[in-house]
Amino acid sequence: MAEWVQAEIEFGSLYSYRVPGTSPSYAVCAPVPSPAAIRLALVDAAIRHTGSIDEGRAVFELVKRARLAIQPAERIAVLKFFLKRLKPEKPSKGKRASVLESTGIREYCLPSGCMSLWWNTEEPTLIERSLAWLRRLGTTDSLASCRLARGTPDEALCVREVDGFPLGTNSLSGRVVFTLHELSAGAHFDQVNPYCQGRRGEPFEKRLYIPPLVRERIGQNWVIYRREPFAL
């Protein structure tokens, strides 16, 4: 019988999850990580902690089919920065690889409070163990820690998929829709295994999501979102 596993995620730094399809040189970010990024963070944590690819494969098969609920932090500030950065040069034969200097604009998020996750799974022990090993969520600079808790999600405060959402309700006033990645039904472990060469196929699909957030204040290069429940 499936049961809920709750986790409170606290970010140790700013985070940035680029919206799929946007340019890396002008990166618009989503205020919450994508479902795919959250699922694969547990796979990454399991492999890094145990050193076992088989452990990562077992966690992947579990999180892929588990129902996931995401509740954003109470407030999230999104800040836009002009950056000067270094990126690796494409290697060429007989030439030593180096780095190139480039510039770009990227948005970063600063949450006030924790992000809450709930997993509905028939193997809660494996999920809880992977959550305890979590040290980052998706990107290498998104440092995070996890605290296990008990409870069930409030659907009015969780990120909702546009498909199936009652679009005629007043709940959409002042809200923003984001495109996020989710694992496709046919995704398999070898497509996301970072230690596997020659990965084939596309494990992700793009879906539209509505976070339970409204714009509270807007500036020239920043916006503050406030968590507000949907009227379901």
For the segment 120-135, the average pLDDT, to the nearest whole number, is 94
**Number of alpha carbons in the 13 Å side-chain half-sphere of residue 207:** 21
Please enumerate in sequence order all residues whose Cβ is within 8 A of that of 177, keeping only pairs 6 or more positions apart, or say none.
162, 208, 209, 210
Domain annotation covers residue 168: yes
In the predicted model, is pLDDT for residue 89 greater than 70?
yes
pTM greater than 0.85 (yes/no): yes
Higher pLDDT, 1 or 18: 18
pLDDT tens across 170-195, in order?
667 778 899 999 999 999 999 988 77
What is residue 108's three-state secondary structure? strand
Identity of residue 165: F
pLDDT at 38: 95
Q: How many domains does the chain have?
A: 1
**Range in 27-31, 83-87, 105-109, 219-223 with the lowest mean pLDDT:** 83-87
Q: 63: domain range?
A: 3-227
* β-pairing verdict for 26-27 and 99-112: parallel
pLDDT at 93: 66
Domain annotation covers residue 103: yes
Q: In CATH, what number is assigned to the domain containing residue 124?
A: 3.30.70
pLDDT, mean over the chain: 89
Domain annotation covers residue 42: yes
pLDDT at 141: 67
Domain annotation covers residue 54: yes
Of 13, 73, 117, nearest in space to 225 by CA: 73
pLDDT at 199: 60
Higher pLDDT, 154 or 138: 154
Domain annotation covers residue 179: yes
Domain annotation covers residue 232: no
In the predicted model, is pLDDT for residue 145 greater than 70?
yes
Domain annotation covers residue 48: yes
Domain annotation covers residue 115: yes
